[in-house]
Structure 1
């Protein structure tokens, strides 16, 4: 870790001059959103071996006190903000649902800074999805740190809150990416439910696949930059609620998320993210 601390200092020292100055928004939410039920019983789910091939074996995964008995599921959206994000925020606000957004720092965040502020203001969780969406496992360690640190700075300037979550593009991570995430205080969020909406390009199929593949404790991967995905969200919310699910953010789902650790540990990391 010493080498990473040195690299991190070197990288972050030069970030202030290279990141555009953003206004700071409010990160508080309002309205009646889904609230998972509290439960007095501790439940620990044993995870499978890490899907990322980083040599880290199985470990116990604990749901938050709120989700130990509630049938919780978390909707997550990658690669934004984009031209359809405002419509998604309208839907989520109308339905009283909070979700988790993994934002790309360069063009998306620079193009739609007001949407970043709105995501935070509506009470959604915001995560780091790197600066330009590269596969991190193919980068030198200093560039991995730069990709994450630049986005951390941009999101903090816009929202006033420093993210504690990251999602590696395409779900690909390894020991070096894990160390970089840990150095920046970021838990790695993968997924265990996906409609593969980057391949399935009809709204009805996206809705159908999410509902078929939903599972308690699920982390659902979707993309708000795809024009056919956002119209599927009302039906997804209705179907999940009809099946008894409580919709939560990723931080509401897990207990004591630790920097560098992967959640969910049984996720299948293949595919786009």
Structure 2
């Protein structure tokens, strides 16, 4: 499937109309393996299936309504005014980092990533493409059951800035819908394919109760640069509040799997706490 970075510019956050303010606050907690992750639901998808031929003809209004009483009790939904740019890092969290994986789940690579995370008792964020989630439901359940944060990465990984509001609603809504059917809870975070955001995506995502998450460190693992290069990029970019972007699908991700096995224990040895965000 497509990667975040195949359509230039890769990490551009589009300027939006004035008048939009800040949304809900965000904090971080390390997941206790003995507790529930508050299951909400990875750059951003496994080996892609065929793209959808067209949007559904019937209107889809997934949670385009007040979220009171529908979100897990400890979360506050994102309500207007919405954000004008995504989270790119998470400050004030101490010596902690966030690992994130896009484009899955993929039956070949995602299980190995999950095994490594479980071995080190670490939680991560997985931004799933709806078509991949729909085809790999057992993997979606495993991601959620093992305490990871499941995010929305659209249904077919389109360039969202080229879509109408109805198109954005369909891409995000269908994905949230299938994630909720599989895990029992809709996602609370989303990531725009290619890192391309616009006002429509911010507003529609907020109306569906989701916050936008980008990244700080891009491993560029989709270019298959070599395991050593991926490890070096993560180690050089490591720092408090950093969000690392990798992929567990969308092509050959063997290097991404091997790199995680290398840099994860090294980060832990350096005293980093690998955690996931929690909406306050």
1:235 aligns with 2:262: yes
User: Which residue of the other structure, out of 153, 161, 178, is the alignment partner of 1:137?
Assistant: 161
Structure 1 residues 59 and 145, CA gap change in structure 2 (3 angstroms): closer
Q: Deviations over 1:212-257 (max 9, x none)?
A: 1112101110001222101111211122122221000132xxxxxx
- If asked which structure has higher relative contact order (CA below 8 Å, sep 6+), I would say 2
Matched with 1:126 is 150
C-alpha displacement of 1:80: 0.2
Secondary structure at the counterpart of residue 229 of structure 1: helix
Q: Does the CA contact (< 8 Å) of 1:73 and 1:247 recur in 2?
A: yes
Distance in structure 2 (CA, Å) of the matches to 1:200 and 1:175 = 32
> Where do 1:36-75 residues align within 5 Å?
51-55=13-17, 63-64=27-28, 68=92, 70-75=94-99
TM-score normalised by the chain length of structure 1: 0.68
Work out the number of aligned pairs and report it.
201
Distance in structure 2 (CA, Å) of the matches to 1:86 and 1:234 = 13
C-alpha displacement of 1:63: 4.7
User: Which residue of the other structure, out of 172, 193, 202, is the alignment partner of 1:178?
Assistant: 202
Q: Does the CA contact (< 8 Å) of 2:160 and 2:197 recur in 1?
A: yes
Secondary structure at the counterpart of residue 198 of structure 1: helix
> Where do 1:238-257 residues align within 5 Å?
238-251=265-278
Structure 1 residues 62 and 131, CA gap change in structure 2 (3 angstroms): closer
Structure 2 unaligned blocks of 5 or more: 1-11, 31-90
Q: Deviations over 1:20-40 (max 9, x none)?
A: xxxxxxxxxxxxxxxxxxxxx
User: Which residue of the other structure, out of 218, 221, 234, is the alignment partner of 1:210?
Assistant: 234
Structure 1 residues 153 and 61, CA gap change in structure 2 (3 angstroms): closer
Distance in structure 2 (CA, Å) of the matches to 1:147 and 1:69 = 32
User: Which residue of the other structure, out of 163, 184, 192, is the alignment partner of 1:160?
Assistant: 184
Q: Deviations over 1:52-78 (max 9, x none)?
A: 322568999865487846311000000
Distance in structure 2 (CA, Å) of the matches to 1:148 and 1:60 = 20
Structure 1 residues 164 and 69, CA gap change in structure 2 (3 angstroms): closer
Secondary structure at the counterpart of residue 185 of structure 1: coil
Matched with 2:222 is 198
Q: Does the CA contact (< 8 Å) of 1:72 and 1:217 recur in 2?
A: yes
Distance in structure 1 (CA, Å) of the matches to 2:126 and 2:152 = 8
Structure 1 residues 250 and 63, CA gap change in structure 2 (3 angstroms): closer
Distance in structure 2 (CA, Å) of the matches to 1:135 and 1:72 = 31
RMSD (Å), alpha carbons: 2.3
Secondary structure at the counterpart of residue 79 of structure 1: strand
Structure 1 unaligned blocks of 5 or more: 1-49, 252-273
Q: Does the CA contact (< 8 Å) of 1:54 and 1:173 recur in 2?
A: no
Q: Deviations over 1:167-218 (max 9, x none)?
A: 0001110111111111111100001111111124311211111111112101
TM-score normalised by the chain length of structure 2: 0.67
